[in-house]
Structure 1
């Protein structure tokens, strides 16, 4: 994936952002058992990590 094209990264980034927004809405709404909540939190953490990696590769993220 390190050699992927920026266009692919941009499409993947948009998909990850949409997935993260959906997971955040679901978690904020609540109404699920503990196992489902833990799974959604784990998926959110993984999606966030992937989003950060792509943003850093594209040079979109925060600069220090």
Structure 2
């Protein structure tokens, strides 16, 4: 099992590799990457609402936010 320190070091190495690859890309590829990342981030932020079924509080059925004390 990897220690927390090993995981942090691995993530740092991956970050460096990704940044190196981005530096090598042309402007058109960078724009395409940026658009695709924007879509992924939007999906992550909105959760399942893009699929038409918003996350709901299990106690009060609110689709907006988990209400304080309803965890």
Same fold (TM over 0.5): no
Greater helix content? 1
TM-score, reference length from structure 2: 0.37
Which protein, 1 or 2, shows the higher relative CO under an 8 Å CA cutoff with sep ≥ 6?
Answer: 1
Larger radius of gyration: 2
TM-score, reference length from structure 1: 0.41
